[in-house]
Amino acid sequence: MASQVASVFAGIAQAPEDPILGVTVAFNKDPSPVKVNLGVGAYRTEEGKPLVLNVVRCAEQMLINDPSRYKEYLPITGLAEFNKLSAKLIFGADSPAIQENRVVTVQCLSGTGSLRVGGEFLAKHYHEHTIYIPTPTWGNHPKIFTLAGLTARTYRYYDPWEKIRQLMRSKSLLPFFDSAYQGFASGSLDKDAQPVRMFVADGGELLMAQSYAKNMGLYGERVGALSIVCGSADVAVRVESQLKLVIRPMYSSPPLHGPSVVATILRDSEMFNEWTVELKAMADRIISMRQQLFDALKSRGTPGDWSHIIKQIGMFTFTGLNSEQVAFMRQEYHIYMTSDGRISMAGLNMKNLPHLADAIHAAVTKLK
């Protein structure tokens, strides 16, 4: 038996679990038959199972059956057709920015990678190194931008986008959108893209991060894009050249399979239409779960105003529960969520929703 050798890394401290992914680690260790995981943002069916869209399976089969396909490296900027179609999807087919060649789009590693590439680009080429992110927001946002070399601060936000646009443009602020749920929030791709298109319509510049994890269910394929809307076509050419310098030492070039699936679906009108139907079905189930949770809390007479559950959109809900109440629900009801009270509505179904409502009622009643 080999003798134990002292490690040069012996002084490294044990890192804490990721606040979001750590929820699943704890959930998996819990032997309770009634446990519920509302931490990770991945869609589940009414039966609590992962879902691969039919249109995605069809696209993959088409790719498999194509003998002309290869496994060569993609360019640094990714699959050109995917980039073109992604920009069209978020900005609109008739976008003046696209028609004037003012949009640069590069394929990235899902939404996280798109944000990181954008953050590093700004740290190197934008005069302002402070980025303001909303509160509450996704827990990874501040980490991504801080490690990219920016200083992250927070702002409170509200609904009327046109007022925000006017304020930002009047102060010459540069918007950075993170679109992880296009089509998934309301069920309409165009409706969910409206805030972004309002900013593009005024002729100003912006950054746009896209992910196909949620709306196409391509979580593990890590498919995303970063677009930068520039003031002119010649600036766009130079911006693309600098984005390549950010990407090359980071991961060299992106994966091939995922964007090929996306491009196959987006380029074909029949497949695109099928996708929108499946997408709306997912969105509608989430909206239904919101209404049913609200109704369940109301019927129990749970203290407080729970209307925010049905007013919020997308996969997640910020419940307003505090960390003490969250810990109580985990301990007493085996319900797992992040400590800020954020829950994934996709993890709910007709079977576990009453259990969650009971837990929230107990937590709010016993722990004010």
Q: What are the tens digits of pLDDT across the range 18-47?
A: 888 888 889 999 999 999 999 878 899 999
Confidence at residue 5, expressed as pLDDT on a 0 to 100 scale: 82
Q: Does residue 280 carry a catalytic annotation? A: no
Amino acid at 178: D
Given a contact cutoff of 8 angstroms between Cβ atoms, the answer to whether 318 and 136 are in contact is: yes
Given pLDDT bands bounded at 50, 70 and 90, which one contains residue 137? Answer: confident
| Tokens of residue 258, six digits | 């995922």
- Alpha-carbon span 131 to 125, nearest angstrom: 14
321: Cβ contacts below 8 Å, ≥ 6 apart: 329, 337, 341, 360, 363, 364
329: Cβ contacts below 8 Å, ≥ 6 apart: 321, 335, 337, 359, 360, 362, 363
**Residues linked to residue 187 through DSSP beta bridges, in sequence order:** none
What is the average per-residue pLDDT within 169-173? 92
Confidence at residue 138, expressed as pLDDT on a 0 to 100 scale: 84
Catalytic pick among 35, 138, 192, 306: 138
What is the average per-residue pLDDT within 136-161? 86
Confidence at residue 1, expressed as pLDDT on a 0 to 100 scale: 52
- Alpha-carbon span 126 to 150, nearest angstrom: 10
Q: Does residue 191 carry a catalytic annotation? A: no
What is the average per-residue pLDDT within 232-256? 97
Mean per-residue pLDDT over the chain, rounded: 93
Catalytic pick among 35, 192, 214, 275: 214
Helix ranges (H only) for the chain are 21-29, 54-64, 80-91, 96-99, 110-125, 141-147, 161-170, 189-201, 233-251, 257-267, 269-300, 308-311, 323-333, 353-366
| Tokens of residue 162, six digits | 């046109």
pLDDT(352) > 90: yes
Given a contact cutoff of 8 angstroms between Cβ atoms, the answer to whether 34 and 355 are in contact is: yes
What is the average per-residue pLDDT within 9-21? 88
Q: What is the pLDDT of residues 263-283, one digit of tens each?
A: 999 999 999 999 999 999 999
Q: Which residue has the higher pLDDT, 3 or 329?
A: 329
Q: What is the pLDDT of residues 181-231, one digit of tens each?
A: 899 888 899 999 999 999 999 999 999 999 999 999 999 999 999 999 999
**Among 338, 289, 339, 290, residue whose Cα is nearest residue 312:** 290
Q: Which residue has the higher pLDDT, 115 or 166?
A: 115
What is the average per-residue pLDDT within 278-300? 95
pLDDT(2) > 60: no
Q: Does residue 305 carry a catalytic annotation? A: no
pLDDT(254) > 90: yes
Confidence at residue 299, expressed as pLDDT on a 0 to 100 scale: 96
Catalytic pick among 35, 178, 192, 275: 178
For the whole model, what pTM was predicted?
A: 0.90
- Alpha-carbon span 356 to 330, nearest angstrom: 11
